[in-house]
A and B are shown apart, each in its own frame.
Chain A
Amino acid sequence: MTSTTSGPEGSGPTELTGLTASELAAKIAAGEVSAVEVTRAHLDRLEALEPAVHAFLHVDREAALAAASRADEERADGTPPSPLAGVPLALKDVLTTTDMPTTCGSRMLEGWTPPYDSTVAARLRAAGVVILGKTNMDEFAMGSSTENSAFGPTRNPWDTDRVPGGSGGGSSAALAAFEAPLAIGTDTGGSIRQPAAVTGTVGVKPTYGGVSRYGLVAFSSSLDQAGPCGRTVLDTAMLHEVIAGHDPMDSTSVDAPVPKVTAAAREGATGDLRGVRVGVVREFGGEGYQQGVRDSFRAAVDTLTSLGAEVVEVSCPHFEYALGAYYLIAPSECSSNLARFDAMRYGLRVGDDGTRSTEEVMSLTREQGFGPEVKRRIMLGTYALSSGYYDAYYGQAQKVRTLITRDFEAAFAQVDVLVSPTTPTTAFRIGERVDDPMAMYLADLCTIPSNLAGNAAMSVPSGLSAEDGMPVGLQIMAPPMADDRLYRVGAAYEAARDAASEVPLLDRVPRLEVA
């Protein structure tokens, strides 16, 4: 199976799988290589590597090749639907697809194929992007390690004893393992950015409402946001433009032009950040952060300064309450959003043997269909919304949310973007935090404020931590609908980082042992 694709280094990327999405798109557009060839190369590689990585829950080889073939035909007809036509992609299994199951990493939806496409999936298809399959995730996007998947954890390609982050660890691992050049994630508290940080890839949580949530199986509706993931800032920008834009099916979708993110990425790549004001969030990156993360962050800030950016320190005093507010708001919404999984209409049904009442079947199904973390959050949220507790918990959390939004507004009055480490540590070991929910929750400490405020944020790789050789991420945050600033600053930083290094970062991903 691996013979045609494994290079001389065993399981290193082939000529095609080693290319970026923009390079692949250019070659396909120029007729140098067909979308089918590109797709086949990625399918072959992922089939070889999946036993070691387990990034995917579902791969549909035939459907992917058929989509690639259509992209080739459209190119031959002179009507390629988008700049990314024919480029393969890994789709997080929380976005509905009519041709593949959508499980959200849960037993509850095992084998369920939705009757409708999410807007994100529909836009990808319309753009000629080839969906290889659906990626693994923490159950219903609740977690920071992908260990909460009912179908087993995904492993970090940099060190398969470590987690790839979460909840979108499948998407980030697929990118880092060169199984796909592009991926889609969703980010409720950091589920795009934290996995990107710990796998050395790029991930963007667009402005809330920037990408339609229609067909994104809801965890926390007021926080959930789908976004693009890639190995480079430019690739991520190109994908961003394919999926973003107003959708009448999502009332919370922003009805405004999509920020010109690809142009911003190209501009940023010139390496000039003069006139750009960068704020370092004082509250993040100190005590409790891994030394390698702090060192990497300090170096990244120096790099931004060297590119001409004006760097200042900015205080966001309410960010320290963000985690607490998040763990009231997100579980509250989740307790309601996940109520529909009741065995009546779709998905798992347990104990319907003719002797049990409807309520008993619902109860048994939910008991057996949900994993412990999902149950924990449903219980937390049910409690927080209960009569007599609402004001003290949900109500207070909403007030904190307002204060955090004001912190951002005050900060963005002074600076164009804010920066911080994406996550306090590098990838932790599988099993290390499963019995300590609080330790797990801390992984999203720096990413949560942007979900609460609804602004745009990116994680871009900032090198490797000296202690463990694992990737570190730099978080860049921008005001709502100023997503283009992320790409300009991110691309400038990325170019400087690679220029300073002998080997491009991702070329340092270890060669995986193929089972």
Chain B
Amino acid sequence: MTAVAEIMDYDEVLRRFDPVLGLEVHVELSTATKMFCGCANEFGAEPNSRVCPVCLGMPGALPVVNGTAVESAVRIGLALDCQVAEWCRFARKNYFYPDMPKNFQTSQYDEPIVFDGGLDVVLDDGEVFRVGIERAHMEEDTGKSLHVGGATGRIHGAEHSLLDYNRAGVPLIEIVTKPITGAGERAPEVARAYVTALRDLLRSMGVSDVRMDQGSLRCDANVSLSPKGSGEFGTRTETKNVNSFRSIERAVRFEMRRQASLLVNGSEIIQETRHFDESSGETSSGRRKEEAEDYRYFPEPDLVPIAPSREWVERLRGTLPEMPWERRKRVQEQWGLSDEELRDLVNASALDLVAATVDAGAPPSEARSWWVAYLSQRANERGVELAELSVTPAQVARVIELVAEGKLTHKLARQVVDGVLDDRGDPDEVVAADGIEVVSDDSSLQAAVDEALAAQPDAAEKIRGGKVQAAGAIVGAVMKATQGQADAKRVRELVLAACGQQ
């Protein structure tokens, strides 16, 4: 394979080629039971403890479709602006693999339940890119193979393999995009933004855990290059094992560079499956597609066709939650945000948290400021997602309330929030434990003000002369003297009063 040293510079790639992407996202539905049997659909159970004759593909066992899974598939289709088939069937995809108990996967082939839609994806700078959706279809997941022995954990070189069929038969929706063209240099970013947007959408619908780390959201990235301006699609590769949003971007970018390097040297792209390596950021050759199977699809005779009535489809449309893009538009209006402010909010993954904080009674601007600024910084320092911080929206709302009541200054409020982040209890508990209290006794503040005015006679004189902006220096000195426990607003009032400006 091409050594990294020879790999083409990204800008050079773009001067010569247009990237074409195709993204296949597998989503495990969070239904209570599996796709075709009554076994519990849960992650992380004791191996082979969530199995029965049906999902083990025992001779004579038959599938029965999970109605909730069909409902979820239709709802996902509606959310992706798709058409819902009036009649569709399952099909068998035949190939031998030990983690697939029947040696065929019950899937859908030329009759997907939903098709022809699209998803508007917001890029980092706020630009909207429409990704076309070719189709979404229902299928069952396979079991998991654990290859024991050997260096790579892959099947080659393994001494033996262990099979866990708990995942076999878990409902999957495979969402396939239309070819994504015209993204140019932003292709890797579009890929990441698309999968992120899909994750947000599916999470808001409550149909899946959408955890890339647990495999409930999996993305295969098809990448090909088209000579600049030719409009001809090149040979594609399919990169698997892409386990995070950032990896999607990296994998696409790497494949673009790798393929370009080969093409300019006159080499051909081999149509194959490639594996992404998180640590090196590179892809490596997996299964050759040219020697891969003819899946011999045919309609699944053990299941009856599905014919979603239009009435049912419309009823499901009515159950769709507010879509993320609708919600963004709504909060932008309600909270009076600029496009840039909204983008910062979305990019910080803070929308849900701010909304919850607002719901708990805080003013939107305060709530937004806490999450996007101070708490995002804290999360960054701790290397965790914003949502993983141990402070809740309700606790943030309480701190905001304490500030509004004049019981905390902003500086003190941060101390209190830090206490909550350190798992020292609710804001009120931290306040009580640390004896944090705003100095609100005017007589003691008055003394500090007098002292500060005396210490800075020039400033005092300016204020008396009407230059009220000079009060800032005096207020700062008072705050310093009271170690931040004073209410800056009240201090300012006292300073102005002492100088005859009120």
**A positions within 8 Å CB-CB of B:** 95-96, 102, 104, 109, 114-116, 118, 213-218, 220-222, 248-252, 332-333, 335-336, 339-342, 344-346, 358-359, 362, 382, 385-387, 390, 394
**Interface digits, B87-118 against A, CB 8 Å rule (1 contact, 0 not)?**
00000101010100111100000000000000
A333 x B98 contact (CB < 8 A): no
Q: Quick check: is B455 within 8 A (CB to CB) of the other chain? A: no
A336 x B92 contact (CB < 8 A): yes
B60 x A218 contact (CB < 8 A): yes
A221 x B58 contact (CB < 8 A): no
Considering only CB atoms, which chain A residue lies closest to B303 in the complex? A251
User: Count the A-B residue pairs with Cβ separation under 8 angstroms: how many?
Assistant: 98
Considering the chains assembled together, what is the distance between the CA atoms of A116 and B58 in angstroms?
A: 9
- Contact residues in A for B297 (Cβ distance below 8 Å): 385
- Contact residues in B for A214 (Cβ distance below 8 Å): 60-62
- Contact residues in A for B302 (Cβ distance below 8 Å): 218, 221, 251-252
- Contact residues in B for A217 (Cβ distance below 8 Å): 59-60
How far in angstroms is the closest Cβ of chain B from A98?
11
Q: Quick check: is B53 within 8 A (CB to CB) of the other chain? A: yes
A333 x B58 contact (CB < 8 A): no
Partner of A252, one of B59, B104, B304: B304
What are the 5 A-B residue pairs with the smallest beta carbon separation, nearest first?
A: A339-B103, A222-B301, A385-B296, A221-B301, A217-B59
Of the A-B pairs whose beta carbons lie under 8 Å apart in the complex, a sample of 28, sorted by A's number, is A102-B59, A104-B59, A114-B53, A213-B60, A214-B62, A215-B61, A218-B59, A220-B301, A248-B64, A249-B62, A249-B64, A251-B62, A251-B302, A252-B301, A333-B301, A336-B94, A336-B104, A339-B94, A340-B57, A340-B59, A342-B98, A342-B103, A345-B57, A345-B101, A359-B96, A386-B294, A386-B296, A390-B296
**Interface digits, B46-69 against A, CB 8 Å rule (1 contact, 0 not)?**
000000010011111111110000
B60 x A387 contact (CB < 8 A): no
In terms of DSSP, what is the predominant structure of the interface of chain A? Answer: loop
Q: Quick check: is B128 within 8 A (CB to CB) of the other chain? A: no
Partner of A216, one of B60, B64, B104, B163: B60
- Contact residues in A for B284 (Cβ distance below 8 Å): none
Considering only CB atoms, which chain A residue lies closest to B156 in the complex? A357
- Contact residues in B for A340 (Cβ distance below 8 Å): 57, 59, 101-103
- Contact residues in A for B163 (Cβ distance below 8 Å): 344
Considering the chains assembled together, what is the distance between the CA atoms of A342 and B301 in angstroms?
A: 21
For A102, A249, A336, which residue has the most chain B Cβ atoms within 10 angstroms?
A336
Q: Quick check: is B161 within 8 A (CB to CB) of the other chain? A: yes
Considering only CB atoms, which chain A residue lies closest to B302 in the complex? A221
B58 x A115 contact (CB < 8 A): yes
A345 x B56 contact (CB < 8 A): yes
Partner of A116, one of B61, B64, B92, B104: B61
Interface size on B, residues (CB 8 A): 29
Considering the chains assembled together, what is the distance between the CA atoms of A340 and B57 in angstroms?
A: 7
Partner of A336, one of B59, B63, B98, B298: B298
User: Knowing that A213-B60, A251-B302 are A-B contacts, what are 14 other residue pairs whose CB atoms are under 8 Å apart, sorted by A's residue number?
Assistant: A102-B60, A114-B58, A214-B62, A215-B60, A249-B62, A333-B298, A339-B104, A340-B102, A340-B103, A344-B98, A345-B57, A362-B96, A382-B296, A386-B294
Considering only CB atoms, which chain A residue lies closest to B65 in the complex? A251
- Contact residues in B for A359 (Cβ distance below 8 Å): 96
- Contact residues in B for A115 (Cβ distance below 8 Å): 53, 58
**Interface digits, B276-296 against A, CB 8 Å rule (1 contact, 0 not)?**
000000000000000000101
How far in angstroms is the closest Cβ of chain A from B121?
34
* B residues 289-322 touching A (CB-CB < 8 Å): 294, 296-298, 301-304
Considering the chains assembled together, what is the distance between the CA atoms of A385 and B60 in angstroms?
A: 22
Considering the chains assembled together, what is the distance between the CA atoms of A4 and B500 in angstroms?
A: 129
A394 x B298 contact (CB < 8 A): yes
- Contact residues in B for A118 (Cβ distance below 8 Å): 60
Considering the chains assembled together, what is the distance between the CA atoms of A118 and B58 in angstroms?
A: 11
With A390-B298, A394-B298 known as contacts, the answer to whether A116 contacts B53 (CB < 8 A) is yes
B294 x A387 contact (CB < 8 A): yes
- Contact residues in B for A336 (Cβ distance below 8 Å): 92, 94, 104, 296, 298
How far in angstroms is the closest Cβ of chain B from A45?
30
In terms of DSSP, what is the predominant structure of the interface of chain B? Answer: loop
For B57, B62, B98, B303, which residue has the most chain A Cβ atoms within 10 angstroms?
B62
- Contact residues in A for B65 (Cβ distance below 8 Å): 251
How far in angstroms is the closest Cβ of chain A from B362?
51
How far in angstroms is the closest Cβ of chain B from A70?
25
- Contact residues in B for A346 (Cβ distance below 8 Å): 58-59
A385 x B63 contact (CB < 8 A): no
A96 x B60 contact (CB < 8 A): yes
Considering the chains assembled together, what is the distance between the CA atoms of A362 and B95 in angstroms?
A: 13
Considering only CB atoms, which chain A residue lies closest to B56 in the complex? A345
- Contact residues in B for A102 (Cβ distance below 8 Å): 59-60
Considering the chains assembled together, what is the distance between the CA atoms of A385 and B299 in angstroms?
A: 11
How far in angstroms is the closest Cβ of chain B from A483?
20
How far in angstroms is the closest Cβ of chain B from A358?
6
- Contact residues in A for B294 (Cβ distance below 8 Å): 386-387
Partner of A251, one of B53, B57, B304: B304
Considering the chains assembled together, what is the distance between the CA atoms of A214 and B59 in angstroms?
A: 10
How far in angstroms is the closest Cβ of chain A from B485?
70
Considering the chains assembled together, what is the distance between the CA atoms of A345 and B53 in angstroms?
A: 11
Considering the chains assembled together, what is the distance between the CA atoms of A386 and B59 in angstroms?
A: 24
How far in angstroms is the closest Cβ of chain B from A444?
19
Considering only CB atoms, which chain A residue lies closest to B63 in the complex? A251
B303 x A96 contact (CB < 8 A): no
Considering the chains assembled together, what is the distance between the CA atoms of A215 and B103 in angstroms?
A: 18
A251 x B61 contact (CB < 8 A): no
- Contact residues in B for A333 (Cβ distance below 8 Å): 298, 301
- Contact residues in A for B103 (Cβ distance below 8 Å): 339-340, 342
* B residues 246-301 touching A (CB-CB < 8 Å): 294, 296-298, 301
- Contact residues in B for A252 (Cβ distance below 8 Å): 301-304
Considering the chains assembled together, what is the distance between the CA atoms of A332 and B63 in angstroms?
A: 19
Considering the chains assembled together, what is the distance between the CA atoms of A382 and B104 in angstroms?
A: 13
Considering only CB atoms, which chain A residue lies closest to B104 in the complex? A336
B298 x A385 contact (CB < 8 A): yes
Considering the chains assembled together, what is the distance between the CA atoms of A252 and B304 in angstroms?
A: 6
How far in angstroms is the closest Cβ of chain A from B148?
13
How far in angstroms is the closest Cβ of chain B from A375?
16
- Contact residues in B for A387 (Cβ distance below 8 Å): 294, 296
Considering the chains assembled together, what is the distance between the CA atoms of A335 and B92 in angstroms?
A: 11
Considering only CB atoms, which chain B residue lies closest to A116 in the complex? B53
- Contact residues in B for A358 (Cβ distance below 8 Å): 98, 161
Considering only CB atoms, which chain B residue lies closest to A383 in the complex? B296
- Contact residues in B for A215 (Cβ distance below 8 Å): 60-61
How far in angstroms is the closest Cβ of chain B from A9?
41
**Interface digits, B397-415 against A, CB 8 Å rule (1 contact, 0 not)?**
0000000000000000000
- Contact residues in A for B58 (Cβ distance below 8 Å): 96, 114-116, 346
How far in angstroms is the closest Cβ of chain A from B158?
10
Considering only CB atoms, which chain B residue lies closest to A115 in the complex? B53
Considering only CB atoms, which chain A residue lies closest to B294 in the complex? A387
Considering only CB atoms, which chain A residue lies closest to B304 in the complex? A251
Partner of A96, one of B57, B59, B296: B59
Considering the chains assembled together, what is the distance between the CA atoms of A346 and B51 in angstroms?
A: 15
How far in angstroms is the closest Cβ of chain B from A398?
9
How far in angstroms is the closest Cβ of chain B from A388?
9
How far in angstroms is the closest Cβ of chain B from A364?
13
Considering only CB atoms, which chain B residue lies closest to A109 in the complex? B59
A385 x B96 contact (CB < 8 A): no
- Contact residues in B for A114 (Cβ distance below 8 Å): 53, 58-60
- Contact residues in A for B303 (Cβ distance below 8 Å): 251-252
Considering the chains assembled together, what is the distance between the CA atoms of A368 and B102 in angstroms?
A: 19
* B residues 7-41 touching A (CB-CB < 8 Å): none
How far in angstroms is the closest Cβ of chain A from B65?
7
Considering the chains assembled together, what is the distance between the CA atoms of A340 and B296 in angstroms?
A: 15
Considering the chains assembled together, what is the distance between the CA atoms of A220 and B61 in angstroms?
A: 13
- Contact residues in A for B101 (Cβ distance below 8 Å): 340, 345
- Contact residues in A for B92 (Cβ distance below 8 Å): 336
Considering the chains assembled together, what is the distance between the CA atoms of A220 and B57 in angstroms?
A: 16
Considering the chains assembled together, what is the distance between the CA atoms of A335 and B161 in angstroms?
A: 26
